[in-house]
Amino acid sequence: MSNSSLAQGFLVKQAGMLSLIQDAGRFGAFNLGLTNGGPVDLLAFQWANRLCRNTLNATAIEISVGGLILIAQVDTTLAITGANMPLTINGQTKGLWRSYHVKAGDEIALGFATQGVRCYLAVADGFNITPSFGSTATVCREGIGGLRGEKLLAGDMLACTCRDSHQNTHNNSHKNKNLILIEKLRPAYTDEIILHTVPSYQQRHFTSYQQRLFFSTEYTVSKSFDRMGYRLEGQAITCDVEGILSEGICHGAVQIPADGQPIVLLNDRQTIGGYPKIGAVSSVDTAKLGQLNQGGKVHFEPISMEQAHNIFHLNLSGFNRTELVTCD
């Protein structure tokens, strides 16, 4: 492979509302004040990489809302998963949740999501992005990851390796066929979800009545939601402390600020905080939350730590057992 081919990839013709370079996330840097980043919908991100026969941590693009247009500069394979965003390749409508062979000069365009919020675009072998603090994940608030620590802009070049899928030997041609995740196995994005939540050690600051209120209330996604967290609207919850000493915050933590409206913290959350936390949402369910738009409905359901482990491993086992189908 020549150096010139490694320097080419995809030209960003139109960057869309918010398109970010992401790998699985940045871990082990909390002591530096750096949060995880990574894909909000980890499951869709991993499916995109599997459809390209990549490792699950390969660098891809997270497209929020839509509007991304890329021009291929190399022959390669790509796959797009996640929210229902209209996809066209050279003006022809295509489906998501499968891979496609593309050639230099092809235009890949994503419209705006009709259900869900975020899509993931992976390419064969991943995008060649220089890691920052051990990861390519973009966190705009911290100015790290991606190309410049910010969202993609028109004119950016996203380097990747040329993989000419049509120059095969007979023995390995099956490995270069496109792959598809059949429709009945794809995640369903809805406007109402249940968030399985492990109660926090700080639940003692919430009376049993306030806890019952929290777990029996239907909350609505407010206009204030992003990769840092989702602010919800509904029954206000109170506790017997207004704040606590700042401490580390886990992914999925449910903070209760002074106004009593829950905030579920996600990938780009701050590393420490001082609001009381009534619980933490399962990572399986934060992926679903990350596909909700303003007005989406949320119900919290309490589970034990053991149940949370079971949910995680059952979903992981299901993901690993699911077979992809080859297609043209």
Q: What is the mean pLDDT of the chain?
A: 93
Residues of the chain with pLDDT under 50: 1-6, 165-171
In a domain, 326, yes or no: no
Token pair belonging to 184:
């009945």
Which pLDDT belongs to residue 179? 98
Does residue 149 fall inside a structural domain?
Answer: yes
Q: pTM score, two decimals?
A: 0.93
Last residue of a domain, one of 170, 187, 204: 187
Question: Is the residue at 328 inside a domain?
Answer: no
Both 82 and 172 in one domain: the answer is: yes
Whether 290 is in a domain gets the answer yes
β-pairing, 192-199 vs 297-302, is parallel
DSSP single-letter state for residue 89: E
- Domains contained in the chain, number: 2
> What residue numbers bound the domain in which 286 lies?
192-321
Residues 6 or more apart from 204 whose CB is under 8 A from it?
Answer: none
Q: Using CA atoms, how far apart are residues 286 and 281, in angstroms rounded to an integer?
A: 7
- Is 327 among the domain residues? no
The verdict on 19 and 127 lying in the same domain is: yes
181 and 275, same domain (yes or no):
no
Taking CA atoms, 73 is separated from 10, 295, 301, in Å, by 5, 40, 48
> Of 238, 232, 301, which Cα lies nearest the Cα of 262?
232
- Among 141, 168, 187, the domain-final residue is 187
If asked whether residues 7 and 156 sit together in one domain, one would say yes
- Amino acid 173: pLDDT: 58
CA 276 to chain CA mean position, Å: 26
- Among residues 187, 221, 249, the one where a domain terminates is 187
Which is nearest to 119 in space by CA: 190, 177, 62, 162?
A: 62
CATH number, position 298: 2.40.100.10
Distance of CA 236 to the CA centre of its chain: 29
Same structural domain, 152 and 269: no
Q: Which amino acid is at 76?
A: T
Would you give the distance in Å from CA 253 to the centre of its chain?
17
Pair 253, 216 in one domain: yes
Tens of pLDDT, residue by residue over 276-312, are: 999 999 999 999 999 999 999 999 999 999 999 999 9
Write the pLDDT tens digit of every residue in 193-239. 999 999 998 888 999 999 999 999 999 999 999 999 999 999 999 99
Q: Same domain, yes or no, for 263 and 130? A: no
Angular region, 53: left φ>0, alpha ψ -120 to 50, beta rest: left
